Amino acid sequence: MHNQYHTDVLVVGGGTGGTAAAIQAARRGAKVILVSEFDWLGGMLTSAGVTVPDGNELKAFQTGLWGEFLHELHAEQSEGLDNSWVSFFSYEPRIGAQIFANWVNALPNLQWISGYVPLEVLRQGNCITGVRFDSFTVHAKITIDGTELGDLLALGEIPYRWGWELQSTFGEKSAPVEYSYLTQKYSVQAPTWVVVMQDFGSDAPAIPKALNYDESLFIGAWDNYGAEKFMNYGRLPGNRFMINWPLKGNDWGENVGRLVEQEPKRQEFLQECFWHSQNFAHFIQSQLGKRYGLAPDVFPARELFNNISTSFALHPYYRESRRLIGLTTLCEQDILPSDGGNAAPLHEDAIAIGNYANDHHYPGIEFPLQPKSIRWGGRWTGTPFTIPYRCLVPADVDGFFACEKNISVSHIANGATRLQPVAMNIGQAVGMAAALCIENSIHPRYLQVKTLQISLIENLYLPNAIVPFFNLTLDNPEWLKWQKYYIDNPTVYPISGVCPSIAENQCLYIHENSVKIRNNKYVTGIFHLCSQQDYIFTVTTPSQYEGQTWQLVTLHPHVDSILKNLTSGELIKLWGRYNSAGNWLLVEHIEK
């Protein structure tokens, strides 16, 4: 029997963006059906195993569903989130998956169906009206593509791009002038099949070689890092390690175009990708000792290419997919800092923010990009930028949104927009927009973006910032005022990324933050200024840390303000959390 369902909003794909879109649309009151391929929701953040997310880490950018997710992680993971050095947040995949499942199950107007992939997109003229699956069809007023590879774009014959654009297309300085060996070898960025390893302290079960094992592919993988730092890159609680390593590691991009070819070719690529990750795990064990083995019970048991495994992610971490041709295309110029500033220009129709560096993965090939990294809070972060609403909406198709790595973005800019927090922000905006379209009986092209922007920043759960400021956090009583002001006046957005009306009064919030952590342990020591935004701290007390030298970093604007004004040699008292993987103290409060 082939069932027929009718709903307001259909979300296909349970990845980061799709899950966020379904939750937000349902929270707004729309009737939603979410169809996912896997039993876990969250995509990159869970089922793909990338549980050390990058970007939007600063306190000012921890808003909306992304901020809620971090809050839930802190509450659910007793060991804390300061475990790795590639991210300030690392957690067990099962915890993240349970958070998403709890949110979905709490919404009676959201029906989640797992275990299905789309087979056909339904259209009436230029309007998408639903999707057919193996045993049912969903008819919807709004359909959202939240798949990892933009599958609905292809099935629905919705115009899209795949792969590189030349410099002449969008005027991007990092784009190639002409097609080359690189563009031919890697049509898109390489995916990675994440595997989680564990330090058992003694002999672990042997990790067998997979087919096509070639040790030469991995030799030198942790040169210039050392074995310990390499393993701590994606360290998780319980002496576990997320293996997602780009340097002679488990990125796999050989003939990556097979991902969007017929199913046999796609399965061929996936098998090679899985084997490559297994072979890298075997290499790690052979080089670093038998104490390192495959971590058990990380993911649901699933047969992967004749292996029953709970150590490998349910699917690869896809960095790039088919990309919608939308009402506008986000390009490299839109994510780079304005001349003389630390922030990108603010889009008039901004609906989400990101700040990650532009990061591309092509195994064995160095690909230089225009820099967008900056130092802030004693560490490297990225230029904040915004996602325009118009890149979520097709140019000529109604009833449809993109909400994942499939938005209308250039190949070059995708390196910054593909990250987990950005996809979650985009998904939340799309979910809110879809619900507003239902409320007003309109198609996405005709939605008043100002209505969407106000709905996001006034969200009743946790407001979602769409105007990025380093120094404007949600606990600031003027947060909503300044979000609304710059939404109405985008041309006066300061290229510094600093809200000028807040900077002078920042000291008002130091006491409030210090009270929250007053009962936490503190350390005393000597502050050293190595260079601008590069701080070192030599511990004097307590005695068990005396003489140790740590880097000082922070995610809080009030702490950043103090650090910038300290003088080398000052004796200071700090409250914070020490991260041994990164040898840094994540500072919450400072007293001189």
Res 26 pLDDT > 90 = yes
Cα→Cα distances 56→63, 79, 452, Å: 9, 22, 21
Query: What H or E segment, with its residue span, contains residue 228?
Result: helix 227-232
Of 316 and 211, the structure prediction assigns the larger pLDDT to 316
> Helix (H, G, I), strand (E, B), or coil: what is residue 528?
strand
Question: Beta-carbon neighbour count of residue 106 at 10 Å?
Answer: 11
For position 516, what pLDDT does the model report? 39
Res 518 pLDDT > 50 = no
pLDDT band at 514 (very low <50, low <70, confident <90, very high): very low
Output the six-digit token pair for 523: 């350390």
Residue 215 to residue 91: CA distance in whole angstroms = 30
Cis peptide before 176 (omega within 30 of 0): no
Res 228 pLDDT > 60 = yes
Of 356, 191, 334, nearest to 258 (Cα)? 191
For position 509, what pLDDT does the model report? 40
Give the bridge partners for 424, in sequence order.
Answer: none
For position 456, what pLDDT does the model report? 98
Output the six-digit token pair for 63: 């808003």
User: What pLDDT, in 10s, does the model give residues 290-341?
Assistant: 999 999 999 999 888 877 789 999 999 999 999 999 999 999 999 999 999 9
Residue 359 to residue 418: CA distance in whole angstroms = 9
User: Among 130-144, 208-222, 499-513, whose mean pLDDT is lowest?
Assistant: 499-513
For position 470, what pLDDT does the model report? 97
For position 304, what pLDDT does the model report? 84
pLDDT average, residue stretch 221-231? 97
User: What pLDDT, in 10s, does the model give residues 399-428?
Assistant: 999 999 999 999 999 999 999 999 999 999
Phi, psi of 231 (to 5 degrees): -65, -35
Question: Beta-carbon neighbour count of residue 90 at 10 Å?
Answer: 29
In sequence order, what DSSP letters do the residues of 389-458 get, joined into one string? Answer: GGGGSBSS-BSEEE-STTSSB-TTTHHHH-SHHHHHHHHHHHHHHHHHHHHHT--GGG--HHHHHHHHHT
User: What pLDDT, in 10s, does the model give residues 151-206?
Assistant: 999 999 999 999 999 999 999 999 999 999 999 999 999 999 999 999 999 999 99
Residue 283 to residue 285: CA distance in whole angstroms = 5
Residue 61 to residue 359: CA distance in whole angstroms = 19
pLDDT band at 510 (very low <50, low <70, confident <90, very high): very low
Res 507 pLDDT > 60 = no
Res 286 pLDDT > 50 = yes
Of 514 and 331, the structure prediction assigns the larger pLDDT to 331
CB contact set of 511 (below 8 Å; sequence gap of 6+): none
DSSP state of 82: -
pLDDT average, residue stretch 479-505? 90
Of 209, 238, 231, 306, nearest to 267 (Cα)? 306
User: What pLDDT, in 10s, does the model give residues 542-551?
Assistant: 999 999 999 9
User: What pLDDT, in 10s, does the model give residues 334-376?
Assistant: 999 999 999 999 999 999 999 999 999 999 998 999 999 999 9
3-state secondary structure 83-152: CCCCCCCCCCHHHHHHHHHHHHHCCCCEEEEECCCCCEEEEECCEEEEEECCCEEEEEEEEEECCCCCHH
Residue 59 to residue 286: CA distance in whole angstroms = 41
Alpha helices in 250-294 (DSSP H): 263-288
Alpha helices in 441-537 (DSSP H): 449-457, 479-488, 500-503, 510-516
pLDDT average, residue stretch 82-88? 96
Res 568 pLDDT > 90 = yes
Cα→Cα distances 224→23, 167, 228, 247, 555, Å: 43, 34, 11, 11, 27
> Helix (H, G, I), strand (E, B), or coil: what is residue 157?
coil
Residue 293 to residue 311: CA distance in whole angstroms = 10
Query: What H or E segment, with its residue span, contains residue 229?
Result: helix 227-232
Question: Beta-carbon neighbour count of residue 477 at 10 Å?
Answer: 8
pLDDT band at 511 (very low <50, low <70, confident <90, very high): very low
pLDDT average, residue stretch 37-46? 98
For position 501, what pLDDT does the model report? 83
pLDDT averaged over every residue in the chain = 95
Residue 415 to residue 123: CA distance in whole angstroms = 32
Residue with tokens 């082939």: 2
Res 508 pLDDT > 80 = no
Residue 405 to residue 153: CA distance in whole angstroms = 12
Of 212 and 504, the structure prediction assigns the larger pLDDT to 212
For position 503, what pLDDT does the model report? 59
For position 520, what pLDDT does the model report? 59
Contact 361, 273 (CB under 8 A): no
Percent of the chain at pLDDT above 90?
A: 93
Res 569 pLDDT > 70 = yes
pLDDT band at 262 (very low <50, low <70, confident <90, very high): very high
The Cα angle at residue 232 between residues 294 and 560, in degrees rounded to 5: 145
Output the six-digit token pair for 328: 């506008």
pLDDT band at 512 (very low <50, low <70, confident <90, very high): very low
What is the set of domains in the chain, with CATH numbers? 3-161+320-492 (3.50.50.60), 195-309 (no CATH), 512-591 (2.40.50.140)
pLDDT average, residue stretch 65-85? 96
Percent of the chain at pLDDT above 70?
A: 97
pLDDT band at 515 (very low <50, low <70, confident <90, very high): very low
